[in-house]
Amino acid sequence: MRDAYLIGAGQSAYGSFPGESYRSLFETAFERAVDSVPEGVEPGDVDEAVVGTLGVGGRQLGLSGPAVTEHVGLGGVPTTRVENACAASGYAVRQAIQAVKSGMADVVLAGGFEIMTDTSSDATKYWLGVSGETEWERLSGTTFSGVYAQMASAHMDAHGTTREQLSRVAVKNHANGAKNPHAQLAFECSLEDAQSAPVVADPLNLYHCCPTSDGAACALIASEDVVGKYTDDPIRVAGVGAGSDSVGLFQRDTYTGIPASRRAAETAYEMAGVGPEDLDFAEVHDCFAIAELLAYEDLGFCDPGEAGDLIESGRTEIDGDLPVNTSGGLKSKGHPIGATGAGQVVEAFKQLSGKAGDRQLDDPVRGLTHNVGGSGGAAVVHVFEREERSSSERSSGRSPRESESGVAR
């Protein structure tokens, strides 16, 4: 099994862009990914592409993968569209890694996109609902926020988790997102703001829910055989894990955790030979505030039931010992469904290559990304690791805090 490396990654801004199309946003993300490769990469070097999207709005439901790769100059390249609801491009990254490890490709583009803000609120409800179970969730009237509200209620009931702890997720992620020029909701919020927002699906209020977003993100994965051509600071894909589950929350044994996340994390940690204690940061799937707390437990950042305490402790803040969602997360950076998984990898790339601007961590070596489809029908986890250079290499290396390029969209 040959090693795979993350050699570049980039994203469009996330937000509402009525003047853009899915093709133009994908192009921006692709160009930034290409530009981020230290030694450069030619489009002709890309052997294959995997593109994740849910297809919200239904504008190009079939073959949207080839539609975007052709647009960015990769016409002819084998292109697969994958969809696992909100984990679409997390799985695209995983498939790109498999393509590289298989020996069938040396450089693979993994990306994703979504346009969500041009649909009516009814249409948005429909498209979010398709990530839940159709007959007994969507068609029976359960909204997607309603599904996560049930998980929040169950966690509060079982473990004494509080609304204030949910709100602290929003406060932390907005504080980080305010430092991210590509974030959709790039402003800070106070605990009071987060506590007093209108209810969306009790106990979740507006600040406990991520926005709907337009956006695209891309990552470039290369094999160990060619990585030296593209970078002197290789970021290795140390671990990959995925898991699936019943699509409907009501079909599962537990409401206070996401078993697919646990399976994905176990596999990824085992492959990487590390545990949660070895991580320097993590980007986790906080589509709702409760989802970040569940992730803390499912990914082993704390014991079951202790996520409320962990967020309160400040340890997952940007200056804590395990910063979570330095990008702002889905809550503040935004959640263009098909782009989200690849977008998390963009943040991992930026942190590990010292290009995270005002939110740069101090020389991180290892980070995790965690992407969930639906309410947990699918999950995928990656562990990325900056390879240790020798001290002589290190002394001549890059500045640890380069500024972030490509601010405006």
Amino acid at residue number 70: E
What distance in Å separates the CA atoms of residue 25 and residue 18, rounded to the nearest whole number? 11
Q: Rank residues 164 and 224 by Cβ distance to a copy of itself and give the closer one.
A: 224
Q: Rank residues 62 and 400 by Cβ distance to a copy of itself and give the closer one.
A: 62
Binding a copy of itself by CB under 8 A: which of 247, 293, 295, 324? Answer: 247
What distance in Å separates the CA atoms of residue 28 and residue 284, rounded to the nearest whole number? 24
Contact pattern from residue 117 through residue 146 relative to a copy of itself, giving x for each residue in contact according to CB under 8 A and a dash for the rest: -------------xxxxx------------
The answer to the question of residue 342 lying near a copy of itself (CB under 8 A) is: no
Region 253-312 residues binding a copy of itself, contact defined as CB under 8 A: 259-260, 263-264
Binding a copy of itself by CB under 8 A: which of 374, 383, 385, 386? Answer: 374
Binding a copy of itself by CB under 8 A: which of 80, 119, 143, 195? Answer: 80
CB 314 within 8 A of CB 346: no
Token couple for 270 = 């085992």
The answer to the question of residue 102 lying near a copy of itself (CB under 8 A) is: yes
Task: Kindly state the smallest distance separating residue 380's Cβ from a copy of itself, in Å.
Answer: 8
CB 324 within 8 A of CB 281: yes
What distance in Å separates the CA atoms of residue 176 and residue 179, rounded to the nearest whole number? 5
Q: Which stretch binds a copy of itself (CB under 8 A): 9-17, 56-64, 162-170, 225-233?
A: 56-64
Contact pattern from residue 378 through residue 397 relative to a copy of itself, giving x for each residue in contact according to CB under 8 A and a dash for the rest: x-x-----------------
Q: Which stretch binds a copy of itself (CB under 8 A): 84-92, 170-178, 189-197, 385-393?
A: 84-92
Burial state string for 80-119 with b = 16 or more CB within 10 A and e = fewer than 16: bbbbbbbbbbbbbbbbbbbbbbeeebbbbbbbbbbbbbeb
Task: Kindly state the smallest distance separating residue 113's Cβ from a copy of itself, in Å.
Answer: 14
The answer to the question of residue 317 lying near a copy of itself (CB under 8 A) is: no
Q: Rank residues 55 and 354 by Cβ distance to a copy of itself and give the closer one.
A: 55
**β-bridge mates for residue 111, sequence order:** 51, 218
Dump strand ranges (E) for 289-398. Answer: 366-373, 378-386
Token couple for 73 = 């100059």
What distance in Å separates the CA atoms of residue 400 and residue 346, rounded to the nearest whole number? 17
Catalytic residues: 86, 335
| Residue 231 CA neighbour count, 13 Å, CB half | 27
Q: Which parts of this chain interact with a copy of itself (CB under 8 A)?
A: 1, 48-49, 54-55, 58-63, 65-67, 69-70, 74-85, 91, 94-95, 97-104, 130-134, 240-247, 251, 259-260, 263-264, 373-374, 377-378, 380
